[in-house]
Amino acid sequence: MIIIMKIDSPTEEIESIYSTLQSWGITPEKYVGKHNIVIGLIGDTEEIDIRQIQNLSPCIERVLRVSKPFKRVSLEFRHGESSSVVVSTPNGAVTFGQNHPLVTVAGPCSVENEEMIIETALVVKAAGAQFLRGGAYKPRTSPYCFQGHGESALGLLAKAREVTGLGIITEVMDTADIQKVANVADVMQIGARNMYNFSLLKKVAAAGKPVLLKRGLGATIEEWLMAAEYILAAGNPNVILCERGIRTFDQKYTRNTLDLSAIPTLRTLTHLPIMIDPSHGTGNAKFVPSMATAAIVAGTDSLMIEVHPNPSKALSDGPQSLNLEQFESLMLDISSFAKIMGRWPQHALTSAFKHSTFPVNSHFARTSNTMLRA
């Protein structure tokens, strides 16, 4: 249930509503949007009559029930406004969100040694990425495969962060490692295989860092949003949703089936920012460029790309990793399409469009929004 209040409602009025709701055993959560103040109600609201709340204050515009099983992550809970996740990195704050420039995350599947991670970090930084990814702890199907270098890899990520100023995104698999990972990571990743690991979700949420939540390979959109709900319900609103390919009946030429339609679907269901990982999504480096650029046009807020200095020698996921030159080349395409979509930092926009009358950008933004609201 949400209460939509007039934007200029006085604080005392809101506080009065709060205390009444709390006396009913309901937890209110306030969100100040552009056009309204929204108070979300968490708790046993089924029995409450909408008119009963309506009568609490003349500043209340409307009271609505949230029809979905997910509440805090639902678009309804923000009355249709998207949210953003701001991550502070040595190079400054980076914002993930629908009304913000595209964010690029790049790096190897796993941190193999100092040389490779620093070299990769320097190249992806120079090419325009804001975040370095790299696994210290790797969930591997076989206990006999390389499991990541663990704590020492975290140290190397810290060093790469220091050298380049990039933000760090790395996976945490075990509740025992949360503090160690939180010390280094700017965003903590919950991997696809742990999307249903509700204990991990709750405890990572409590660590306070922004969380990247990958979709489970057999998880429905709704289950994925419910997993995100676990994190918000634990008090952490900073969740980014990452689609990385789902498991279907056809696994011959692609490792997974990248579900790009998740982008417009999520836009109708949740306010949370979206990331697409075409590397895991296809499992084939040759398919990454077309899927990465398609994802931008489909509206993704960020991309995660696997990059390795020497993919054929990678300890894991080599076939889906771009080499450094391929990544630099792809970043040119990514920036071109991000500019077209109006999703590139202003200075870049300026330089690219200075002498151009190219009408795509503004037009597309207009017509697409029209369509999506239709």
Instruction: State the minimum distance, in angstroms, from the CB of residue 59 to a copy of itself.
Output: 27
**Out of 56, 163, 298, 348, which residue is the one contacting a copy of itself (CB under 8 A)?**
298
Q: At what angle do helices 262-269 and 288-298 cross, to 10 degrees?
A: 30
Dist CA 259 CA 120 (whole Å): 28
In this structure, are residues 213 and 183 in contact, taking their beta carbons and an 8 Å threshold?
no
**Out of 169, 285, 303, 305, which residue is the one contacting a copy of itself (CB under 8 A)?**
285
**Out of 71, 100, 149, 209, which residue is the one contacting a copy of itself (CB under 8 A)?**
71
Please name which of 256, 255, 168 lies closest in space to residue 219, comparing C-alpha atoms: 256
Q: Are strands 2-5 and 27-32 parallel, antiparallel or unpaired?
A: unpaired
Cβ nearer to a copy of itself, comparing 107 with 281:
281
Residues contacting a copy of itself: total by CB under 8 A? 100
Instruction: State the minimum distance, in angstroms, from the CB of residue 90 to a copy of itself.
Output: 30
**Out of 27, 55, 113, 362, which residue is the one contacting a copy of itself (CB under 8 A)?**
362
Spell out, one character per residue from 31 to 50, where the chain touches a copy of itself: x when CB under 8 A holds, - when not: -----------x--------
Spell out, one character per residue from 252 to 271, where the chain touches a copy of itself: x when CB under 8 A holds, - when not: xxx--xxxxx-xxx-xxx--
Instruction: State the minimum distance, in angstroms, from the CB of residue 97 to a copy of itself.
Output: 15
Q: Is position 148 an interface residue for a copy of itself (rule: CB under 8 A)? A: no
Q: Which residues contact 30 (CB under 8 A, 6 or more apart)?
A: 14, 37, 38, 39, 40
Alpha helix ranges (H) inside 49-150: 50-54, 114-127
Please name which of 212, 228, 187 lies closest in space to residue 88, comparing C-alpha atoms: 187
Residue 53, amino acid? I
Instruction: Choose the binding region for a copy of itself from 20-28, 100-108, 151-159, 230-238 (rule: CB under 8 A).
Output: 230-238
Instruction: State the minimum distance, in angstroms, from the CB of residue 105 to a copy of itself.
Output: 19
Instruction: State the minimum distance, in angstroms, from the CB of residue 311 to a copy of itself.
Output: 10
Burial 358-374 (b: 16+ CB within 10 A, else e): eeebeeeeeeeeeeeee
Instruction: State the minimum distance, in angstroms, from the CB of residue 135 to a copy of itself.
Output: 13
